[in-house]
Amino acid sequence: MSTLPAIPWTWRAASDAPVPRAAVGHGVAAQRLLARLSALPAARRESLAATGTADWLVVLGPTDDLPWVEGVRYAAPSASSAALWLPTHLEPAAPVDLLWRALEARHARAPLLLWPEPAAVLPLDRQLPASDALLATLAAHLRGCATP
């Protein structure tokens, strides 16, 4: 198996910001997002799904249903590669299709969220409905950042 050559690239301000389809929190913002999501009535969370890691929380759903908290940013699928999700406020200064091919070859999962700061590639293929049980599991795994 051959490895792909490195593609040097940077981020730039989004020229045409897409409609948000996910709320993204890291560290304290992830804890705040989880607290906000947990405070919503179960019926209000029916349109939302979530996934996370020890430092990240990503809540996916219709724009109008996405929760807002201090420090959260938003993401959407790329217009040129729907399996690649990007922040709504920035875009890669490199061809998105080339970035997607490199990420797909490296991670072998889809969809993926490519995030600028802190730099991360987050798989979105294990999102689950934002149920009480999922929120409890996410709370148990979200690393101990300062309490929001």
pTM listed for this prediction: 0.90
* Whether 114 contacts 123, CB under 8 Å: no
Which tens digits make up the pLDDT trace of 12-45? 999 888 999 999 999 999 999 999 999 999 999 9
CA 77 to chain centre: 10
Report the candidate in 108, 120, 101 with the shortest Cα–Cα distance to residue 4: 101
- Residue at 148 is within a domain: no
CB-hemisphere CA count at 13 Å for 68?
3
- Residue at 4 is within a domain: no
56/126 Cα distance (integer angstroms): 14
56/80 Cα distance (integer angstroms): 25
Domain extent at residue 28: 20-141
- Residue at 136 is within a domain: yes
- Residue at 95 is within a domain: yes
- Residue at 76 is within a domain: yes
- Residue at 104 is within a domain: yes
73/78 Cα distance (integer angstroms): 16
Looking at residue 90, what is its pLDDT? 96
Q: How many domains does the chain have?
A: 1
The percent of residues in the chain predicted with pLDDT above 90, rounded, is 79
- Residue at 30 is within a domain: yes
- Residue at 82 is within a domain: yes
Looking at residue 6, what is its pLDDT? 61
Would you say residue 148 has pLDDT above 70? no
Residues 6+ apart with CB under 8 A from 39: none
